[in-house]
Structure 1
Amino acid sequence: MPQTSEKIAVIGIGDDGIGAASPTVRQRILDAQLVLGSDRALKLLPEECQAERRVLSADLEDVAAQLESVGSRRAVVLIFGDPMFYGLARYVTEKIGKDRFDVVPHVSSMQLAFARVMESWDEAYLTNLANHPLEAILERIRTAQKVGLFTSPAQPPNRVAEALLAKGIDYFHAYVCENLGARDERVTRGTLDEIAAQTFASLNVMILVRQPNAPDRPRDAIGRRLFGNPDEAFLHSKPKQGLTTSAEVRALALAQMDIAAGSIVWDIGAGSGSVSIEAAQIARDGAAYAVEMDPEDHGLIKQNAERFDVGNLIAVLGKAPDAFNDLPDPDAVFIAGGGREVARICTAAFERLRPGGRLVVNLIAINNLAELYEQMGAASHNCRVMMVNISEGADQLGRLSFESLKPSFLLSVVKP
């Protein structure tokens, strides 16, 4: 029978090494034939540990290769804090397989930080700036009550504070917790202005706590909605004024697209970019690609993206479907179509759509709708159509009346 490989133990430790570990965990480390970890972690091993010691690579792909080469040896990986909380174990268990590992957590530095400042963290927004650009998470911070950040050498606490202040997000008390668990541990409390003027040790956690009764957003952004913004909030080229997807239809379309935080979205024939901008705001950890063949509108998309402070929108100048070649496969696609090419464009987009993804098309002409419904219905059993016919109340000589907006159709199809 083939020899079964030992499970690799991924064990969390603190700055006190294995001294604080339970007797069972301590013995597992001492019995190991191979111990992997950072140079700092390996130096904490006692002399009685006779295992081969190997420094883990800083590159995750190399780490996976190191662990795959362990073979049948009894191996231990030492990680500071909780290996599953923004730690290495999350990556390697998915890369190599969960059945190859045992994970033993230690108190996370994030837990320690919140304990030091006497704040609960069960509803805090937590993230790691080593994996997420600061610009991509500013909107999440803006609306949060509490925030916990693993900072990085490229994005230390003072730069975080500077970036928040530059966006008008000035309503947080800030704490920087350095070298948690070590003898030189230090906790600094201050305003963002005060934190921006200081430097800190590289090992730190930054906590932000919203001041009581602070508004959710900077004053100059009051009235901005996640989706369904008024049509006049977007810049348009004057000859095409009124050709944008209306706020009412846009809201329905975005709901049908079922966009998640990490979605990749295509907006084909983006015009002024109203749909792709709001899609980007919803897909805050993903990206929206606004494809537009008109150079003037392409420029307007960029202006509107800047106006709405959307950093994850990519304006693509090109004609569909040729412009699809260099785009990543989407989770959701929106097409505003009325011309003869709409069926061909929809087919090309549907082919690139990821399984389970959604294609939503806004049409005005009923003859285009019938053709597209037959085509998409043959491609998926989950194809539906709705007619959007909305009337808006208006005052006429002191009496309430209703004026109909131009009716249109929304076709949505889910890829099997």
Structure 2
Amino acid sequence: MVTTMGRISLPESTAPGPTKPAVRALVLWKLDLEPDDHVVDVGAGTGAVTLEAAQVADRVTAIERDPDRVAAIRTNREASTVEGTVSVTQAVAPEGLPDAADAVFVGGTRNLDGVLDWIEQVAPRTVVLNAARLETAVRAITEFRARDFDPEIRRIAIGTGQELVGETAIEPQRPVYMIAGTPGGGA
């Protein structure tokens, strides 16, 4: 299990963008990666989770539909000290997904049904899905239950201290819903 974060130099802000460091830490905790794992990051965005996972797992596959984000993943990869194998594919999942995976992170939910169908086929040990929108979280929870993924649900609300008139106020970041599961209900 990964307990240290902060080795990936991606910007932290309250604006939409890379998965925030505290949220990445929780994602990696639930993925519970091993060195010989093959991790798949679906909807990889800027590659923040991809690169954190590659700190532990020997092989990480990032799937991202947006060409600018694919370029950002590659730039961030080149700027990192990650030693694991990271492959980046521009595709709309489930297209481009590999034939096997030990752990899956879903950060993009554009084609949720197709991605969950693929997860059922490859049967990874664990899957973690993050959703910023409540409707997406509800849909994911419903699908996890219908597919016997034994969902574990968390609402992550992170706040950071900011100076306000010489004292400290907590500025909240947008909450994230994290749905973790075991395809097949852990069977």
TM-score by length of 1: 0.40
**In the alignment, what sits opposite 1:299?**
71
Q: Is the 8 A contact 2:40 2:104 kept in 1?
A: yes
- 2:123 aligned with 1:350: no
Q: Distance in 1 between matches of 2:42 and 2:30?
A: 16
How do 1:33-52 and structure 2 match up within 5 A? none
**In the alignment, what sits opposite 1:369?**
137
How do 1:17-416 and structure 2 match up within 5 A? 228-229=5-6, 233-234=9-10, 242-283=16-57, 286-311=58-83, 312-324=85-97, 327-339=98-110, 341-354=111-124, 357-380=125-148, 382-416=150-184
Mark the runs of 5 or more structure 2 residues left unpaired by the alignment. none
3-state DSSP of counterpart to 1:322: coil
Q: Is the 8 A contact 1:272 1:298 kept in 2?
A: yes
What is the identity, as a one-letter code, of the residue corresponding to 2:120? F
Q: 1:404/1:342 Cα in 2 relative to 1: closer, same or farther (>3 Å)?
A: same
Higher RCO by CA contacts (8 Å cutoff, separation 6 or greater): 2
Q: Distance in 1 between matches of 2:178 and 2:139?
A: 14
Q: 1:337/1:271 Cα in 2 relative to 1: closer, same or farther (>3 Å)?
A: closer
Q: Deviation at 1:328?
A: 4.0
Q: Distance in 2 between matches of 1:406 and 1:360?
A: 18
Aligned residues: 180
3-state DSSP of counterpart to 1:348: helix
Q: Distance in 2 between matches of 1:381 and 1:275?
A: 22
Q: Distance in 2 between matches of 1:319 and 1:349?
A: 15
Q: Distance in 2 between matches of 1:345 and 1:261?
A: 24
Q: Is the 8 A contact 1:289 1:314 kept in 2?
A: yes
Bigger CA radius of gyration? 1
Q: Is the 8 A contact 1:235 1:300 kept in 2?
A: no
Q: Deviation at 1:383?
A: 1.3
Q: 1:295/1:381 Cα in 2 relative to 1: closer, same or farther (>3 Å)?
A: closer
RMSD of equivalent CA atoms: 2.3
Q: Deviation at 1:227?
A: 5.5
Q: Deviations over 1:25-81 (max 9, x none)?
A: xxxxxxxxxxxxxxxxxxxxxxxxxxxxxxxxxxxxxxxxxxxxxxxxxxxxxxxxx
3-state DSSP of counterpart to 1:282: coil
Q: Deviation at 1:347?
A: 2.9
Mark the runs of 5 or more structure 1 residues left unpaired by the alignment. 1-224
Q: Distance in 1 between matches of 2:48 and 2:103?
A: 15
Q: Is the 8 A contact 1:227 1:278 kept in 2?
A: no
Q: Deviations over 1:177-205 (max 9, x none)?
A: xxxxxxxxxxxxxxxxxxxxxxxxxxxxx
What is the identity, as a one-letter code, of the residue corresponding to 2:141? Y
TM-score by length of 2: 0.86
**In the alignment, what sits opposite 1:214?**
none
Q: Distance in 2 between matches of 1:377 and 1:395?
A: 43
